[in-house]
Structure 1
Amino acid sequence: MNSQEAYSINLAGDIYSYGNRIFYTVKTIENKKYASYIMELLDDEPKKLTFGNSERLPSFIDETLYYIKYDDKSETLIKIEKNSEPQTIAVFKKIKKYIIAGDLIFIIAVEDADPKEPFVAEKIKYRFNGTGLFRKRYSLYKVDKNLSKVYSGNFDVEDIAYNGKRLLIQTTENHDDYGLSDIYEIDFNGNKIKRITEKSLVIHGFNISESGRIALSGHYDLDPWKINYIIFPEEKKEIRVENDSYDSILTDMFFTPPYKLKFYRDRLYFIGQNKSTSNLYSLFNYSIKKETEIDGKIMDFDISEDGIPVFVYTDNEHPSIIKYKNEFDLNENIKGYKAQRMLLDSGEIFFMFRDENAPTIVFIHGGPQTAYGNIYYIEFQYLYSNGYNILFTNPPGSTGYGKDYETECVGDWGGKDFEYIKKAMETVKEKYKLKNDFAVTGGSYGGFMTNWIVSHSDIFKCAISERSISNMLSMIGTSDIGFWFNTLQLKIDDPYSPDGMKKLMEYSPITYVKNVKTPVLLITGEEDYRCPIEQAEQFFVGLKLNNIDSELIRYPGDNHEHARSGIPSNMIDRLEKKLQWFNKYMKK
């Protein structure tokens, strides 16, 4: 498999059900560029509805098809009434969501801004990964006869829901610096009627039923290791489903729709996570029902008019399958290699065994409060097909295994998590009689771990560190979330106190760079505001000054998502560069 073949997959999402009609978006990469179009699944037969290769997010109401058409500069909300020509409703820089509310349309969008104008930062969070400087914020717009802005400020409107009577929005207006949200009920002119949430919290998604019940998935406080619950804020009720009432299983596929909740009458549907898999669940009268038995990850879903779930899922062997009454595989000619899953202590490890004489690549996920799962992972399949065993693990800190497991690495990055990875290596080495060397790679927190491991051991033949962390202290002032994330993860009250700075440097791989003996390739996006490029620059210079074979690859135009939804030509090049680096040190 070459790098372009690795990305030659079709991915489905934006599932929307109307009567017996199922609409969805298909996204793919063609000629090293993204392409997406709207499809309809009617009587198990897929039918293409749009042909511009730049359409997404369909909805269908009263014989009218709505969708977003996009290009490099703007996004446009379009409607097609029966067989009419497409009509433009509104144009913005980006559109996050839209809903139809009777004769009105509400749109959450951000306007364009001049990037050459001077910018004044007034708040501690003045830029964000994937957004850049906050020159404009996501606001709520209403389309009546004209377009008008009805709710805005120096914060983001994040979501909207309407049940025919009550109009609700989610905003960050009370705790924008930290990304905590609240839900408000408003009228059609944007005037507040009431605050629904008593205090701000992390909200992954919310919705309202026909009868007016409001539900959300989330947790109170900022701590990333908090278990998510299904919360009914007006009923003051919190319900935990499986090990997490949310899904944080990582994927490197370039189409990952946002998390959602959906009411069918008064039954609530949502995705929950148990260890390395996620499934669809429902709640009725606080009673939990598991709706699917997928040994993989649910990517998106909706509920049809007759109450049957329609969803998209992935597993080790299949990138994207739509399931309604029957299954529709978007990639019939592709079958991935299935990883062997093993329990290890309180977590899980996964091994793609190619040959006892093949070298092994160890992958470390980001987070640390995320998880690897039983899914189709493009990079794993690519490197496996090119002659490598693949080991990936969910060490202490991973989600899906309960609160105690998620908190085990808090205040101790590079401790129990590193010991777990070494134990996983010994487990597969013994079980599969491996005779060759190991390499290590990871991104974000996984990039921190890669830097930490090579500065504290020489057990790997080579390493690739992506969108990494090397200096926890400088990250406080340069990352979009570093000022709160680093302090929480290391249990520090004041990062700029003498004790705070000392601890941050104690957990910084740059402090130990002179110990490194392992060749290291560093990869990052130029516009990464989560783990800024200065983190890779520091470690690279430290390695070079100590005569360690190292390279730094910088991808212009890419941010922290460069390995998942970056510029396609960069993602293809990245796989090639990683394979070249591994081959240089691992292939004899």
Structure 2
Amino acid sequence: MQATRNIKSDDLFKLKSVADPQLAANGKDLIYVETLISEEKNDYVSNLFYINVTEKSKAVQWTFGEHRNHSPRWSPNGQQIAFVSNRSGKNQIYVLNNNGGEAQPITNCVNGASNPVWSPDGTKLAFNVSLGKEEDLYSKEEKKDEKNKKLTPLEVDKMKYKSDAVGFYNGKFKQVAIVDLVSGEMELLTEGESDYHLQSWSPDGRHLAVTADLSEDLDFSFLNDLYLLDVQTKQLQKITNGTGYFGNATWSPNGKYIGLIGHEREFANATLSKIWVFDVEENELKCLTSDSELLVGDFAIGDFQQGTVSPGLLWSEDNNSFYFLATDHGNTVVYYGALSGELYPALLDQQHVYGLTTGGNVNTAVVAVSKPTLPGELFLLDVPTGDLQQLTFTNEAFTKEVKLAGVEEIEFKSKDDWDLHGWLMKPANYQEGEKYPLILEIHGGPHAMYANTYFHEFQTLAAQGYAVLFINPRGSHGYGQKFVDAVRGDYGGRDYADLMEAVDYVLENFDFIDESRLGVTGGSYGGFMTNWIVGHTNRFKAAVTQRSISNWISFYGVSDIGYYFNEWQIKAELEDIETLWKHSPLKYVNEVETPLLILHSEKDYRCPIEQAEQLYIALKHRKKETKFVRFPESNHELSRSGKPNLRIDRLNYIANWFNEYIK
């Protein structure tokens, strides 16, 4: 089937995200989550699908309806699936037998339930629940008359009182509870004014691994420690020593070891995550990758996948070896590790592995893979040979219908002799001998990584006739500790130079790019950098800044990370106004000559909208060419998981602005 048309922004409604694969211990039964976007509901719909991987059977849908069904987890004997669904109006945990029948609700908590974890004998489930001071597991929800709802003030006595993910602090804390599947009785295991994050259940059934920050002053603490929670006594045993941030705790099958992913914050939030193992019998914690530059986990940036899950260390039956995801030089890959410190790649290719499951097997894994022209599918990996066999073909019909632009990898030396890496995407209808405009895309973070993955925004721009350049400037993950740390204290310095030198490189090496028709865009840190660029060069004909930062002085205190992010990243506190202002794009507003479109979400608490308001008014006050677009009821994640119609509006605003000023 020949591709018949270019991709459009509203093709989001035709694409489906395939994520969170879970392979049963028998190595053959696979459950996963498929998410689509309902145009009618203007919302996301997720359901569970099953595949027998040994037979390579066709996927069979196991849940139905227009709800969000997700987080499937196999029971130890492989006969049941626990999952989370909002079919009742709130997220609750359900159990479904693998031989069919209706899913049965297991929880009915006032604020919902999440994160199901099976007990080793399969008779209980542990889960997370959010509770306020006067609430318990059996609290009944009061019916609210929204029309006559009485407004009340929000009392604030802490600095961490809002979050871009959940909004304003509501007096609730995340607790751990268990439910008996036979009797239906629920029991709360933690309490107090701290959040407890459930990780896993010990093979002997005696302990739950949980993480929490139990510091007295949480406003000044940025830790996450591992604790063992005794299921009977509810006592906590602290495993890590309050020096860093740890999570993804998984037990070896014999219960002797606990694998962790974390770091000790040596470089604040720019520190590479490493592999740690706690020896339960010896009461000893050891870092297995202390001398490695490998970044453990998936830190790739994308705008399509829904419900991806970090698997942590996946132990094998031998209690000695394990598999994990790692971020490396523009790819995420599967690695094999062992207690001896042995590390080597089990799947190393030009791709983004955003899901991994083994069921505890040594030689077999299922991976979720995306590439620039592959939105995302599941593959069966034969570990010894590295062979991949495709299991799902969810987006095959779509990818045959539309023209997707491929990428060419680029590598070059910066002027100060650093290795830089990125990609150039040709226009979808590229023809030899033609000249095309170029859009420079800049990722957020800044500690993230562009990767060999599907990016809907890039594809829609390529379909409009643009070449798209995206690179990982210093500050990006995937290239070692020195590289990722280099941006701290130097925003607008060598990171800016890296991006400009990337533009110079492609202009020198690709003759199809029209140097007189250049555009630039980016979000979050990429929005900051877009603002910085237009205040320092006029080489771009148009720019679009998204969810950006323009003023580090006013950023202090208004962001959910603002009171510490300045210190970590700009290396300046509020008293150092001179340094904060030096790194603020707003300082250079008089130099802006590039037409600038400003896109921002009303409820962005990460980069609050006042940052966009200041920039817009400053530009208009100086008679600069600009437009300001505010997206209602949206937060910092608009481009990735916001309301679908607004995501499409955003893509159209970007393309239309460039079409007006560049084409």
> Which of the five TM-score ranges fits, normalised by the shorter chain?
over 0.9
Structure 1 residue 299 corresponds to structure 2 residue 354: yes
**Could you tell me whether the CA contact under 8 Å between 2:603 and 2:634 is conserved in 1?**
yes
Which residue of 2 is the match for residue 39 of structure 1?
49
For residues 141 and 253 of structure 1, the distance between their equivalents in structure 2, rounded to whole angstroms, comes to 33
Partner Cα separation in structure 1 for residue 351 and residue 650 of structure 2: 26
1:298 deviates by 1.0
CA shift for structure 1 position 386: 1.2
CA change 1:577–1:188 in 2 (3 A) is: same
State yes or no: 1:58 paired with 2:101: no
Number of matched residues?
A: 583
The superposition leaves residues 511-542 of structure 1 with CA deviations (integer Å, 9 ceiling, x where unpaired) of 22222111111112211111111111111111
* 1:331 corresponds to: 395
User: Contact 1:11/1:320 (CA < 8 Å) preserved in 2?
Assistant: yes
Q: Could you say which residue in structure 2 is the equivalent of 1:431?
A: 509
Matched, 1:2 2:8: yes
Cα 1:306/1:269, change in 2 over 3 Å: closer
Task: Name structure 2 gaps, 5 residues minimum.
Answer: 1-6, 133-140, 382-388, 414-418
SS across alignment from 1:553: strand
Give the match for residue 151 of structure 1.
190
Retained in 2: the 8 A contact 1:78–1:87?
yes
8 Å CA contact 1:519–1:550 kept in 2: the answer is yes
2-structure distance, mates of 1:85, 1:459: 61
2:274 aligned with 1:229: yes
Post-superposition offset of 1:96 = 4.0
CA distance in 1, matches of 2:192, 2:19: 31
SS in 1 for 2:209: strand
**2:115 alignment partner, one of 70, 93, 97:** 97
In structure 2, the partner of 1:160 is 199
Deviates further, 87-96 or 56-65: 87-96
1:467 is matched with which residue? 547
Q: Work out the CA distance in 2 between the residues paired with 1:242 and 1:297.
A: 19
Q: CA deviation at 1:137?
A: 2.4
Question: Displacement of 1:9 after TM fit?
Answer: 1.4
Q: 1:68-467 counterparts in 2 under 5 A?
A: 68-70=84-86, 73-81=89-97, 82-92=99-109, 93=111, 95-101=113-119, 102=121, 103-110=123-130, 116-135=151-170, 136-144=172-180, 145-165=184-204, 166-174=207-215, 176-177=218-219, 178-188=221-231, 191-212=234-255, 213-221=257-265, 223-234=268-279, 235-240=284-289, 243-261=294-312, 262-265=314-317, 266=319, 267-285=321-339, 286-304=341-359, 306-307=361-362, 308-324=364-380, 326-328=389-391, 329-333=393-397, 334=399, 336-345=404-413, 346-354=419-427, 355=430, 356-433=434-511, 434-435=513-514, 436-467=516-547
Amino acid at match of 1:271: L
Aligned to 2:138: none
- What SS class does the counterpart of residue 36 from structure 2 fall into? strand
8 Å CA contact 1:360, 1:438 repeated in 2: yes
- Residue 163 of structure 1: CA displacement? 2.6
How far apart are the structure 1 equivalents of 2:261 and 2:503? 36
Q: Distance in 1 between matches of 2:293 and 2:652?
A: 39
CA distance in 2, matches of 1:324, 1:410: 40
Distance in 1 (alpha carbons) for counterparts of 2:609 and 2:81: 42
Residue 214 of structure 2 aligns to a residue in which SS?
A: strand
Q: Secondary structure at the match of 1:39?
A: strand
Equivalent AA in structure 1 for residue 394 of structure 2: L
Between the aligned partners of 2:118 and 2:152, the Cα distance in structure 1 is: 35
Distance verdict in 2 for CA 1:141–1:48, change over 3 Å? same
CA contact (8 A) 1:142 1:149 kept: yes
**Counterpart code for 1:303:** T
Cα 1:338–1:179 shift into 2, 3 Å: farther
Matched with 1:12 is 18
Give the Cα separation in 2 of the matches to 1:364 and 1:258.
Answer: 25
Local SS of the residue matching 2:173: coil
CA 1:544–1:153 in structure 2 vs 1: closer, same or farther (change >3 Å)?
A: farther
Identical-residue share of aligned pairs (%): 28
2:589 corresponds, among 513, 522, 525, to 513
3-state DSSP class of the match of 2:541? coil
Q: Does the CA contact (< 8 Å) of 2:519 and 2:542 recur in 1?
A: yes
CA distance in 2, matches of 1:461, 1:95: 50
Q: State the 1:190 CA deviation.
A: 6.9
Q: CA deviation at 1:8?
A: 2.3
Query: Alpha-carbon deviation of 1:274?
Result: 1.3
In the superposition, the TM-score normalised over structure 2's length comes to: 0.84
CA distance in 2, matches of 1:37, 1:176: 37
Q: What's the offset of the Cα at 1:585?
A: 0.5
CA distance in 1, matches of 2:348, 2:591: 48
Asked if the contact 2:351/2:369 (under 8 Å) is kept, the reply is: yes
* 8 Å CA contact retained: 1:242, 1:274: no
Report the residue type matching 2:355 in the other structure: D
| Alignment-derived partner of residue 543 in structure 1 | 619
- Structure 1 distance, partners of 2:199, 2:238, is 14
Separation in structure 1 between the aligned mates of residue 627 and residue 213 of structure 2, nearest angstrom:
40
In 2, Cα distance between the equivalents of 1:154 and 1:534? 31
1:363 counterpart letter in structure 2? E
Cα displacement (A) at 1:192 = 2.5
Q: Please report how far the alpha carbon of residue 306 of structure 1 lies from its aligned counterpart in structure 2 after TM superposition.
A: 4.0
Which runs of 5 or more residues in structure 1 are unaligned?
none
Distance 1:397 1:52 in 2: 43
Counterpart CA distance in 2 for 1:254 and 1:562 is 13
Code of the residue aligned with 2:70 in structure 1: it is: R
Separation of aligned partners in 2, 1:386 and 1:190: 63
Moved more, 450-459 or 112-121: 112-121
Output one character per residue of 1:85-120: Cα deviation in whole Å (capped at 9) or x when no partner: 322111454544111113221111335999944322
How far did 1:385 drift? 0.9
1:323 and 1:176 map into 2 onto residues whose CA distance is 42
